[in-house]
């Protein structure tokens, strides 16, 4: 089944480039940039990837991203991810990057963006992988800081397809970012947002009504609100679900409890994605395979999930 799932043509719609930083590349970049790391080796770092919630993961994720310093570092990160896409027949990807994680450390916005966009261009030309980049605001920071990031992005507007919202969800509702999302939309950007990962269904309502999002990132807690479920089904609003992430971060205690196939069978436009594959134990195929192993996902269900991912692209190639 793994090989069959791997060969299925699919799109990835929920992937943080910084979360694709494998420990081997992290160590190589630390050496190249002469950065001392608090872990002795790759195995020690991997052993630290045990999380009880989103925040414990984010603390390590931001620490890991500190090795990314030069344009070439961002190129190498993105190129390594695109090679994984090629190996798993991901024919289109719409990755997120978090500019504030880097600009707050003094790395210029253009350095980050140039490295990523050069790799995405090579991915299109050399690997045949379609792509659209999503600029994600960090929700634990202020809306004013998000406005500053949007200002930095405007001269490069053609490099992006949408803006998004990620980082610590609880206590940072979508309504906090209503004005910057209004501005992003008036500048021609599409919008997406993480909502209903750890946060309540109310945050999904806000993301839909206030941020006017095209897709819900995660959204698994929608199942707690029947009226919300009906809306998501009626309007066929895609959910970018990340099964391995949800179990690693204890949104579900075990993959056997995951609700993605229940949602699929109820008519929700759910898709399968890897979120932060270097930290959560696998790329898209591993996420599909876990659904087969633990939930008995059939070939027919896998085909529908893959078709949903192609239908839910913001850019139709
Ligand atoms: N799963 C996730 N939720 C929120 N912010 C993130 N940033 C990277 N991965 C994330
Ligand atoms: Zn995410």
Angstrom distance (rounded) from CA 228 to CA 202 = 9
Indicate if ligand 1 lies below 6 Å from the C-beta of 278: no
Region 245-258: mean pLDDT is 98
Each residue's pLDDT tens digit, 262-280:
999 999 999 999 999 999 9
Indicate if ligand 1 lies below 6 Å from the C-beta of 215: no
Nearest atom in ligand 1 to 18's CA: 8
Q: Which CATH class is domain 1-312?
A: alpha beta
Contact indicator for 273, 241 with CB cutoff of 8 Å: yes
Please indicate, yes or no, whether the overall pTM of this predicted structure exceeds 0.90.
yes
Q: Whose CA is nearest to atom 6 of ligand 1?
A: 167
Q: Whose CA is nearest to atom 10 of ligand 1?
A: 167
Q: How far is the CA of 167 from the centre of ligand 1 (A)?
A: 5
Q: How far is the CA of 168 from the centre of ligand 2 (A)?
A: 10
Indicate if ligand 1 lies below 6 Å from the C-beta of 194: yes
ipTM above 0.95, yes or no: yes
| Nearest CA-CA partner of 258 in 285, 291, 226 | 291
Each residue's pLDDT tens digit, 38-78:
999 999 999 999 999 999 999 999 999 999 999 999 999 99
Contact indicator for 89, 131 with CB cutoff of 8 Å: no
Domain ranges of the chain: 1-312
Each residue's pLDDT tens digit, 181-202:
999 999 999 999 999 999 999 9
């Amino acid at each position: 089944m793994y090989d069959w799932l791997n060969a299925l043509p699919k799109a990835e719609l929920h992937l943080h480039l910084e979360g694709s930083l494998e420990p081997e590349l992290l160590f190589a970049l630390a050496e190249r940039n002469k950065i001392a790391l608090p872990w002795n080796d790759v195995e020690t770092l991997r052993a630290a990837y045990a999380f009880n919630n989103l925040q414990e993961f984010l603390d390590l994720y931001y620490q890991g991203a500190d090795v990314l310093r030069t344009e070439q570092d961002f190129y190498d990160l993105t190129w390594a991810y695109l090679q994984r896409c090629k190996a798993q027949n991901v024919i289109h990807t719409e990755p997120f990057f978090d500019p504030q994680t880097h600009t707050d450390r003094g790395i210029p916005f253009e350095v980050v963006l140039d490295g990523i966009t050069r790799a995405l261009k090579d991915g299109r030309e050399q690997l045949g992988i379609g792509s659209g980049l999503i600029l994600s605001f960090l929700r634990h920071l202020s809306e004013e800081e998000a406005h500053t990031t949007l200002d930095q992005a405007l001269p490069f507007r053609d490099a992006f397809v949408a803006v998004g919202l990620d980082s610590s969800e609880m206590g940072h509702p979508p309504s906090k970012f209503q004005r910057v999302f209004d501005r992003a939309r008036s500048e021609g950007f599409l919008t997406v947002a993480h909502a209903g990962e750890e946060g309540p269904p109310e945050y999904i309502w806000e993301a839909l009504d206030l941020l006017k999002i095209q897709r819900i990132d995660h959204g698994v807690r929608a199942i707690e609100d029947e009226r919300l479920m009906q809306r998501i089904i009626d309007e066929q609003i895609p959910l970018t679900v990340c099964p391995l992430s949800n179990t690693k971060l204890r949104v579900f205690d075990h993959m056997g409890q995951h609700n993605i196939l229940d949602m699929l069978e109820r008519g929700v436009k759910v898709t399968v994605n890897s979120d932060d594959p270097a930290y959560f134990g696998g790329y898209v195929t591993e996420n599909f395979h876990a659904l087969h192993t633990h939930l008995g996902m059939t070939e027919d269900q896998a085909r529908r999930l893959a078709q949903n991912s192609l239908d839910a692209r913001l850019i139709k190639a």
